[in-house]
Amino acid sequence: MYFKNSPRPVLLRTLVGHFVYAAAAGVYFFGTGRGWTFVRAKAAALAGVPAMLRKRAVVQRSRRADTDAIWRMLEPGWLGLKMREKRFDTETAVAKP
């Protein structure tokens, strides 16, 4: 959804954060013993790239909102927010009896 629906300028400005978040997810899943499932899921996503690019072309041609309007709706500190959220989730899970 992220790659298919994001306008190119938004995609380029958020790509590094997206990859950081995915890498952190990989570390998490390997730490929980589900790392190879994560890798297989990413490989399946990569296999679907050609079809996604065809759909992306259709979506981007029919887009109604301009890039600036979309950018203004995004949370500027989303990566830090997600990291704090996940840390809280982990701390809460550890604190449960």
> What average pLDDT does the structure give for the chain?
86
21/67 Cα distance (integer angstroms): 23
Other C-beta atoms lying within 10 Å of the C-beta of residue 6: 21
pLDDT tens-digit map of 26-41: 998 999 999 999 999 9
Residue spans per domain, the chain: 2-95
CB half-sphere exposure, 35, CA atoms < 13 A: 9
The confidence score (pLDDT) of residue 72 equals 86
- 6 residue type, one letter: S
**Looking at per-residue confidence, does 86 or 48 come out higher?**
48
